[in-house]
Chains A and B, each alone.
Chain A
């Protein structure tokens, strides 16, 4: 994600306030703190309906559920999300790179991809349940399908954008196809490929939550929806916080793990997915 300079970026220096603004993060922290204080105060003044918890009540609900229901439900969710994500992204990246390198493959995949790309893949979930039964199989399949697209589209764009001259140079020096793929294609395309994987990762949590909210007896989605339906708002908030943390931490983990591949590059977070 490149950080464009704002139009009014001025010279550095100034007082304590100015330095706090320069450091950037105190500004966001101050905004969040302000919102939380107003929220908490509104709750304390009994201005909020009882289904809106204050920040401290949400934290309390989370820590109460932490040793209790959260580990099991989190595990149930991850058992669906992770296989689907790995399957979908691996296939997507491989097909995408292949299509980006060879015109013939691109001709075969791109009409199908562009035709089905805007379709919300989650719409297939009820049909997949009819085909594959209740259980984890249709959930894993739909997560994989949803992850396939951003991974494929971005990997194809990445491979298409590789400087051809680098490939020619590598071939002139006698590198084989596999070596070219590993040392030129993978290296040059890594940035955009990881952008696609990152979008797929965020999407995988959205989709797994959706499948659990539509119908499931276990998982964070079920915890959240059951909490809502049975007026157990503690469970609902604890589930939301956990799912949010999961999405956030998974994103950080991906960025950390892929850092050596994309040294010196700025990654976009948002793109076609």
Chain B
């Protein structure tokens, strides 16, 4: 792996660790070091504005046991996953249509490419006017933002599919439903890659819209804790969000390993 190491190796004192062990030690060291750095900074600053790790974790435990965290997390997750589900449904339909039909491809692809760098989040007030202030406008925005990576990935998955699979299915007398099954199965690895991009986008969009103005959800919880000058409350929610995002990503990878078992490693 290492590009320039051979030159130095001779003079190095041998550690009682294998290369893999040294690598693991560095990884854990980096994590522990980051936490230690925060703790040290918090103790040196010694201000309520920069709470120590213990204070943050204690606050997280309090908010979790009082049910406050779950109440808001539930609102956030319901909104996020509803939007993601709508995005997946539309994205798969569009992606498959683009992969199969030339005219649809030529009509949609330039639009996706041109509007991809445009911040769709700026449409939020328009969505509020259209769908009302509560859940629907946020769900619509999540669906719109997640649509891009999902559509594009499914499209490249379908169009990159070996056509011989379809011909084989046709030769064995497969009907339209079975052929669609072949297509979807072929696009599944790309769909998982798209989901891995879409899930963090979902979290961003939902948290931002809740930060802008809302009375429910994790974004609101962060904002209200900050305006009350309780950084430990905000940081506790952020810690929770980080764990949530990490967990969702790992779950997705684990699910991909079972569902798309024939493909090694899903990249996003």
Contact = CB atoms under 8 A, between A and B. Distances in A.
Interface of A: 1-10, 21, 24-25, 27-28, 30-32, 49, 51-52, 101-104, 107-112, 114-127, 129-131, 164, 167, 177, 198, 201-202, 205-206, 209-210, 213-214, 220-221, 224-225, 227-228, 236, 239-240, 243-244, 247-248, 250-251, 269-273
B91 to A, nearest CB: 12
Contacts of A9: 102
A129 B100 contact: no
A10 B109 CA distance: 18
Contacts of B207: 120, 122-123
A247 B226 contact: no
Interface in B22-63: 23, 26-31, 34, 49-50
Given A28-B106, A101-B3, A236-B125, A115 B99 contact: no
Nearest to B111: A28
Nearest to B158: A7
A126 B211 contact: yes
Interface string B125-144: 11011100000000000000
A156 B108 CA distance: 32
A213 B200 contact: no
B229 A130 contact: yes
A160 to B, nearest CB: 8
15 contacts: A4-B99, A6-B98, A7-B161, A7-B163, A7-B166, A24-B110, A30-B107, A102-B4, A107-B27, A110-B27, A112-B31, A119-B238, A210-B121, A213-B124, A228-B126
A47 B82 CA distance: 29
Given A28-B106, A102-B3, A118 B226 contact: no
Nearest to A23: B106
Interface in B195-222: 196-197, 199-200, 203-204, 207-208, 211-212, 218-219, 222
Given A30-B107, A118-B199, A269-B113, A8 B101 contact: yes
B117 A214 contact: no
Given A6-B101, A6-B105, A120-B245, A112 B34 contact: yes
Contact of B226 (A109, A129, A198, A201): A129
A4 B28 CA distance: 42
Interface in B147-175: 148-149, 152-153, 155-156, 158-161, 163, 166
Given A7-B166, A28-B109, A107-B30, A271 B125 contact: no
B143 to A, nearest CB: 16
A3 B249 CA distance: 28
Contact of B103 (A21, A202, A224): A21
Q: Which 10 A-B pairs have the closest CB atoms?
A: A118-B245, A126-B226, A228-B125, A251-B117, A4-B159, A107-B26, A27-B106, A28-B110, A119-B242, A120-B204
B122 interface: yes
A125 to B, nearest CB: 7
B240 to A, nearest CB: 10
Interface size for chain B: under 10, 10 to 19, 20 to 34, or 35 or more residues?
A: 35 or more
B212 A32 contact: no
Contacts of A3: 109
Contact of B159 (A5, A103, A118): A5
Nearest to A5: B159
B84 interface: no
Nearest to A241: B122
B152 A21 contact: no
A201 B197 contact: no
A251 B237 CA distance: 34
B10 interface: no
B123 interface: yes
A24 B111 CA distance: 12
Contacts of A118: 199-200, 203, 242, 245-246, 248-249
A183 B121 CA distance: 39
Highest count of chain A CB atoms <10 Å: which of B155, B218, B226: B226
Nearest to A3: B109
B106 A21 contact: yes
A228 B129 contact: yes
B88 interface: no
B197 A271 contact: yes
A248 B117 contact: yes
A21 B107 CA distance: 9
